[in-house]
A and B are shown apart, each in its own frame.
Chain A
């Protein structure tokens, strides 16, 4: 039986290779992106479709999320520098931002507080318990901040990241068309809306629309993140 190929060993070597996670993520993303470009169908939003494809592959291969997270680290680790990189479009659009300084500050305060309070109020109406309320509160901000804040105010850290991700994907899927239908056409206003409510996923979507739209989304995302990180724990301790 010397000619028999060891398929099992080859398969194991493949799915446990340290680049397997990177490989399937890249392949899933290329496929999703091509499908989205071709159809422009909103439910084929690249982040959502790629994640579903990757989950499918992991289930088929019998791999856990922990296995995947290990072998996709090359991508995860670049998220930090990519966040830092948002400072560049922010800076390049500084003149536009300065011109619109008052609208930005007012929108941030009023809409930022509304977005957070609305989520908590709805969850309370639906009868969610305190723990879920505290997990939902930071859902509009980028996941590292949301996870920190959720922990500080007594929510579930991992579930907070999930709510953040669902919110972001929903924003990217429905945001652009919904804003257009409601007559919001100004790139700065569209960017603010996407970045403030749908954080990085919304910002990635806004960057596809235009530079200006992306810059305002990056601005809204970072300001909303900083405001939530600083104020939400304070407000929760004082009021609830």
Chain B
């Protein structure tokens, strides 16, 4: 735990802690003892901590090492006078994706190792899909859900266009690489080094910065703002909307997607209200591959203006809706690390019998424990992560899937 373990040993310790309650009890005891020892000593000494002043000492060997390192760096700089080419390599992939080359060639099967060059486009085609890209400079990007990313030729920048969807980026600071610049329908987002995520819709972009800072220009009026770590901004297509960096709100552990306001439902069609005034949203068809159409409704935490939502053991997803035929529906959640990068997707199948009679409204509550990871690399549970979105899928057109309410509930007290 102090950094001396190798990756294999670290994984063993993690497995031990996940599976062995006694090991966790011991670790908690150590943590408790550490803070109580410090507390008792603090009271005993009854004096504030003094800051430690470290006086630099002259160490000739350190200067020699520094000089050698500087020489190597200088040599590397001279040799690499031109920055690396702007490319992105697919390093991991899940679900239906499409690659559109700059010359217009389309490939519906994308493999790990595919190299994207300027002009190339990659699309993730369903709520459960994602692609991780390596930007050949230690920087990483992930797009997920329904997203479309293109590599652009922008002077002095590594240019991208995110037409719609979700993107998580970790841009590593490197001396010889150019800044990253991402164009959306409403903004240009630029950074030299930052960890941030971006959610893009036709009339709004939401940028959330967790580390470093990014500069954002609102295309509607050319206004710019620097978004520092722990801050976020909503960039609207309208000049009348406010455009300022605001501190990220404190997280909560529940979410009620405000469907009447309509902003949380990022992929669904609004249907006329029921006689008793209940709002309804219809699932939208989505072609995920040749001869494969699904019907999806997608609800985003960030777009609904909610604070970040934390996933706990015992969290539940409660959906109300209707289906016109007897068949299963699928619930899905997208997760990301707390103030961090994309984590993964989890889905749960809801059998037809749980939905009751076809045509009648149903309410289904699925506990977190019934969600399964979409890839083998993910742990069994996303507890401890942050919720990005919830989606509901029906594979049948005749089901006419309608959604009336979407809630993410905390664990029950005493659970």
Q: Do A and B bind each other?
A: no
Chain B: residues with CB nearer than 8 A to chain A?
A: none
Q: Which residues of A pack against B, CB within 8 Å? A: none
